Structure 1
């Protein structure tokens, strides 16, 4: 016969007290150390833990000559309790901010180097955020797509700017900018002084080329499949440096190389054939803890980028 926990729904204040004692015992690796922190005797903690185990109908921990350790059930309960207490903290934070001017940090993370146009747009966003909420501490930084995704899901960031080739559950995406990515080489590469007609598919397929380092859309994968991908670089600026070396060809947005094109340092190869789309998206968590901050920053992005 399956045993059922006798802990009521919702949790009583007594149950929450027992769970806090349980967390203290786990974090101090035993009853004695927890007793000093909690200001109660070891025997009192033992009684409380026995009561908690009885109410849950679970064995949470082992104690004896071998020392203190959690059972498998105890480990699961500990993780669940930590999530519960974290949700309490989030609720308190939310309530404390209601009706008040926004404060604390507002974190914006970008996965790509921004060209001059997008930098100017982002500067306008920052200007509006500061004027609207001068007590916010703005954090603007760069990171990898996977790290930005994790930061958003864990409420460590409020908004991310990165290509939305692969969308994941829990995040929402909105396109803010789109442009074409072109195959190019530098003036140090053998292809530079050849016309497009002189460059065969075999030439392109055998030349050393740079892979962007992430999964991209089907059009991009199709273009990359035709090349000899012998190097990898995600960031536009580092990829550009590899191409400028004259040892590699690779795909870059025209906006990031326009000055080099004007100076004759780079050229685009077969622009009517060798390209794929690049879309920069504004990404937020669907159910963000700091929802007011996320709503404010997304509204400002919508204004500035005419979304």
Structure 2
């Protein structure tokens, strides 16, 4: 005959205010590394903390920690309960933040991070976004800045930014992506480069493979990777402005978006090489965290970006 355990705990039942109080004390003890170290933060004596911990263990019917001459240490069950505490209190904070924002004006910072310097067209588009945000929620403090790709992804995941504008080069778990803009990218050389005075018919694939070229520094899409495989990648530049500088030096060839080089093409500082065969598509993504805490701010930005960039 199989015996069934009569052991039960508070977990399947409704969690009371007293349970939450004990769990908060438990979390403080764990994060301070023991009873004595937690006295100042909790404002109670070590003996009182010990009583609260014993009450929590009795209510849960679990041994959460060992304390004695060997020092304070969590049991395996204690580790599990501690991690569950973190999730529980984070969820309570998220709930409070959501309820407090309902029916109220948005406040605080609204942070947009861009992975590249802004060309004139993009500046005008973002200016429209900012105008609409300011008109809709004038009390918000706008932050618009440039950052490295990986830093933007980390900021979004840690919710230190609301929206990132990134080239579509990878998909990071925990982030949502939406393409809002695309344009062709062309292979270019500067006016002092040996290719500048040559016609496309005079520039063979072997010649392109021999001269130094600039790598964009990120894993671009499949078409772009195929184009780069044919070149002698001898330098790296993550942003369009630094890449353009390398190409303008006359020492390298490299890929740049058409909208970003209009002025240099007109003044004959840059030239496009093999326009029909040496190009690929650049896609710009609007990126945000999946299920962000400040949902209202992110949804506001997404709706305005979609309105502006669909025009």
TM over 0.5: yes
Cα gap change, 1:249/1:91 in structure 2, threshold over 3 Å: closer, same or farther?
same
Could you say which residue in structure 2 is the equivalent of 1:102? 106
What is the Cα deviation at residue 73 of structure 1?
4.3
1:178 aligns with one of 170, 182, 191: 182
1:150-193 per-position Cα deviation (integer Å, ceiling 9, x unaligned): 33333332212112232234433222211111111112222222
1:36-66 per-position Cα deviation (integer Å, ceiling 9, x unaligned): 3222221121122233334445443333334
**TM-score, with structure 1 as normaliser:** 0.92
Could you say which residue in structure 1 is the equivalent of 2:65? 61
Could you say which residue in structure 2 is the equivalent of 1:22? 26
User: Take 1:246 and 1:76, find their aligned partners in 2: how far apart are those partners?
Assistant: 60
Cα gap change, 1:181/1:47 in structure 2, threshold over 3 Å: closer, same or farther?
same
Cα gap change, 1:202/1:281 in structure 2, threshold over 3 Å: closer, same or farther?
same
1:193 aligns with one of 190, 197, 201: 197
User: Take 2:194 and 2:61, find their aligned partners in 1: how far apart are those partners?
Assistant: 75
User: Take 2:250 and 2:269, find their aligned partners in 1: how far apart are those partners?
Assistant: 10
Checking the alignment, whether the CA contact within 8 Å between 2:179 and 2:286 is kept in structure 1 is: yes
What is the 5 A alignment of 1:34-53? Answer: 34-53=38-57
Moved more, 160-169 or 126-135: 160-169
What is the 5 A alignment of 1:197-276? Answer: 197-276=201-280
Cα gap change, 1:71/1:209 in structure 2, threshold over 3 Å: closer, same or farther?
farther
Q: How many residues align?
A: 307
What is the 5 A alignment of 1:78-117? Answer: 78-117=82-121
User: Take 2:248 and 2:87, find their aligned partners in 1: how far apart are those partners?
Assistant: 50
1:6 aligns with one of 9, 15, 18: 9
Checking the alignment, whether the CA contact within 8 Å between 1:3 and 1:57 is kept in structure 2 is: no
3-state SS of paired residue (1:22):
helix
**TM-score, with structure 2 as normaliser:** 0.91
Could you say which residue in structure 2 is the equivalent of 1:135? 139
Cα gap change, 1:185/1:78 in structure 2, threshold over 3 Å: closer, same or farther?
same
Aligned alpha-carbon RMSD (Å): 2.1
User: Take 1:276 and 1:166, find their aligned partners in 2: how far apart are those partners?
Assistant: 16
1:268-293 per-position Cα deviation (integer Å, ceiling 9, x unaligned): 11111100000112222342222211
